Amino acid sequence: MADIVSAEQLIEEVSSYLSSQDIEMVRQAIEFSRVAHVGQTRQSGESYVTHPIAVARILTPFRLDVQTIVAALLHDVVEDTDITTEEIAAKFGKGVATLVDGLSKLDKVFFETREDAQAENFRKMLMSMAQDVRVVLIKLADRLHNMRTLGAMSDDKRERIAEETLQIYAQIAYRMGLHDIYQELQDLSFKNLHPKIYQELSDALAITRNKRRVVLDEVKKKLEDRLKEHNILAVVSGRQKSFFSIYQKMREKSLAFNEVFDVFAFRVLVNTLPECYLSLGALHSLYKPMPGKFKDYIAIPKENGYQSLHSTLMVPPEKISKNHPTFNSDAVSPSETPIEIQIRTHEMHKICDVGVASHWLYKSGDNTIREFHQNTHKWLQELLDRLNRSGDSSVLMDNLRVDLFPGEVYVFTHTGKIRSLPRDATALDFAYNLHEKIGTHCTGAKVNHAEVPLDTVLFNGDRVEILLDDDAEPKLAWLDFVTTARARSYISHYFKTTYYDDMVSRGRSLLEQTCLAINIVLPEIKEAQWQKLLKDTKVKTREDILADIGIGDRHAVLVARRLAQASDINLGDVAQKLPAIIIKGTEGGPIRFANCCNPIPGDPIVGEFQRRKGLLVHTQDCPSLQRGYSVPSALNLEWDHDIKRLFPVNFSIQAHNQPGVLAKVSAAIGDAGFNIENLNMDNEGKYAWLHFTLKVSNTQQLATIKEGIRKYPEIIAVIREKESPSK
């Protein structure tokens, strides 16, 4: 019965924009899917056809074409039944069949591990996305409905799917500009990963919603009145922030729920671009803006096409009327309440809300929408190209996660065009971001008209020009400081193809030295040991393994350990005999720094060997380590004595909320000779929290900074935050 009702609702929804001929095609697809899935049920016990109908209904608000709706109805048919893509093509056309094929998993192919299957299925999906972006729209709708109905799954499966959704699918939705889907996927992932916390937060919001509504109503009216005073025609709306974003703030800043006051945000839509900035000035004259909380995403849009002005305003408690019918003193903070405002035009809002789907929803030929779609296709093709260079599945998935997160640094080319790069990107990363050939033949760079080395880290607003020489070629040392997957992929590929024999020889020498430390003679390693290693790593030949070692994409110690695993050698003995891996801080490739503890030189460190992933560097006191250090997966690590790189370190300062405290702390940091990379400040009652990101060389420098800050009587606590802040 539920499927019949849902089918009728779907027909009603598509009838608002599809032709009668297209509607008949949708009816046929519903019946085709019903017959194909007959006898199949979901974990909840419902008829399986309710799922594809629900997926199609998620897509109808975007007014997608009939091919997309039909493909959504048939997206599981090839995967779960005996029906072929050829049969679908014969009945519904080649376009529908191509979309369905792009959505079908590689279930007919055997994979040794779930990770291998996941990686290759993502690769296939991305290939289809690069050809037709409608594939990702259907896939995201499919994942969204699965997340909405995840309750029938086992705990382990629910957590695994939720984690994958948070790391991959939510980020794809973000990159596609699908804000509502992105936010709902985050909230549903949070609900399934942390059900108790989610319920507690939900209950707390329900209790305080009516009390805090007074703030929302009063502030909304004052914003509208101020804009009218300046003759600005605007639409103002208020909304509650998502559960996940509230949870993130509580976690990052160690706040209890009743200490989080900015749970509401306000959106201001105006007609023209100049009115965005006029509105900003008008509202800044109404409420005091919080320092460091203004961002101009209109002048410099986000990678997903998002444009808006962001500012946080401080609303004094006396501005909230005590005569309001629902006023309650518990609804307001004892001091100023921060509220977030977003200002944009109606045209900008088209992409802000529906992103890539704006192509179908708004058929106006808008240049902004057209440019966004072109950039999206370009990004997909570049991402796919880099992923196709990835060796084993773990490298592919790591690169995918890195590439899905949006860049944080915006720099200008010498012609004035804007480029987005990840934080800590260098001038060399910028060169490869422009084009592979520019990176290959670069010799240096000019940043803000001054000549600098290629390892120079770039910052927001830098103007960068790359110096070229047709005879120049990449250097192996470049792998020590590039940060982007794109640059590393191109450099590694260059040496693997141009200097393959040299890299094999270099890798063999490094591996021989390491094996001798554990009494293994490399030429005497049995063929069976090599074959097991090749199978585990999905590499074709031992020479390719050696070339990876020579380039730096694999570490000799890790390969020696795997060869020992394939033999009868006791791994405990191996751990004792293997030489310590010296950490320079620039390795990349098989060595990564754990985000759970953010080690810096001076921290005692230990290596966690993860099968098929490489080496993760932790501090020895990292609470997230699941195992003791004496087990076979742990490796002995030591910092290099001469590390030139700077490491980001995050710390929070709790202080009495008094005038001038920020200036004093900033002065203490400046007096110690350090620059502030990032700063956030929260006024919470009589206390203030200052959140800094600096770059230091070691723990001694950090101690000097903390000592300089603690001398002020206003300071209550200085806490190093080892976990990276969420992007």
- Render 445-477 in DSSP notation, one character per residue: EEETTEEE-TTPBP-TT-EEEEEE-TT----GG
- Measured in degrees and rounded to the nearest 5, phi and psi for residue 195 equal -60, -40
Q: What is the pLDDT of residue 393?
A: 47
Catalytic pick from 22, 46, 65, 80? 80
Residue 22 has pLDDT above 90, yes or no: yes
Tens-digit pLDDT profile for residues 501-539: 988 888 888 788 777 766 677 777 888 888 888 887 778
Residue 394 has pLDDT above 60, yes or no: no
Q: What is the pLDDT of residue 579?
A: 55
Tens-digit pLDDT profile for residues 199-216: 888 888 777 666 667 777
DSSP string, 154-198: -HHHHHHHHHHIIIIIHHHHHHTT-HHHHHHHHHHHHHHHSHHHH
Q: CATH 3.30.460.10 in the chain, residues?
A: 196-355
Between 55-59, 197-201, 594-598, the lowest mean confidence (pLDDT) is in: 594-598
Q: pLDDT confidence of 5, banded at 50, 70, 90?
A: low
Give CATH for domain 2-193. Answer: 1.10.3210.10
CATH classification number, 407-473, choose in 3.40.50.300, 3.10.20.30, 3.30.70.260, 3.40.50.11710? 3.10.20.30
Give CATH for domain 196-355. Answer: 3.30.460.10
Query: What is the spatial distance between Cα 312 and Cα 294, in angstroms, rounded to a whole number?
Result: 7
Residue 285 has pLDDT above 80, yes or no: yes
DSSP lists the bridge partners of residue 412 as 418, 463
- Percent of the chain topping pLDDT 70: 74
Q: pLDDT confidence of 632, banded at 50, 70, 90?
A: very low
Q: How many CB atoms lie within 10 A of CB 496?
A: 18
- Percent of the chain topping pLDDT 90: 21
Q: What is the pLDDT of residue 108?
A: 41
Closest CA to 428 of 444, 416, 414: 444
Rounded average pLDDT over 18-24? 93
Query: What is the spatial distance between Cα 458 and Cα 215, in angstroms, rounded to a whole number?
Result: 41
Closest CA to 233 of 339, 345, 308: 345
Give CATH for domain 647-721. Answer: 3.30.70.260
Catalytic pick from 79, 159, 217, 721? 79
Q: pLDDT confidence of 581, banded at 50, 70, 90?
A: low
Catalytic (active site) residue 473:
no
Q: Encode 227-287 in three state secondary structure.
A: HHHCCCCCEEEEEECCHHHHHHHHHHCCCCHHHCCCCEEEEEEECCHHHHHHHHHHHHHHC
Rounded average pLDDT over 279-305? 84
Q: What is the pLDDT of residue 111?
A: 39
Catalytic (active site) residue 80:
yes
Residue 438 has pLDDT above 70, yes or no: yes
Tens-digit pLDDT profile for residues 635-652: 667 887 777 677 888 888
Q: What is the pLDDT of residue 176?
A: 78
Between 19-28, 685-694, 700-709, the lowest mean confidence (pLDDT) is in: 685-694
Rounded average pLDDT over 307-331? 62
- Of residues 461 and 287, more confidently modeled: 287
DSSP lists the bridge partners of residue 719 as 652
Residue 127 has pLDDT above 80, yes or no: no
Q: CATH 3.30.70.260 in the chain, residues?
A: 647-721
Three-state secondary-structure class, residue 364: coil
Distance (Å) of CA 361 to CA 64, 175, 354, 365, 702? 7, 18, 8, 11, 52
Q: What is the pLDDT of residue 452?
A: 92
Q: What is the pLDDT of residue 135?
A: 84
Q: CATH 1.10.3210.10 in the chain, residues?
A: 2-193
Rounded average pLDDT over 450-454? 91
Rounded average pLDDT over 22-26? 94
- Of residues 707 and 683, more confidently modeled: 707
| Cβ partners under 8 Å of residue 167, min gap 6 | 401
Residue 331 has pLDDT above 50, yes or no: no
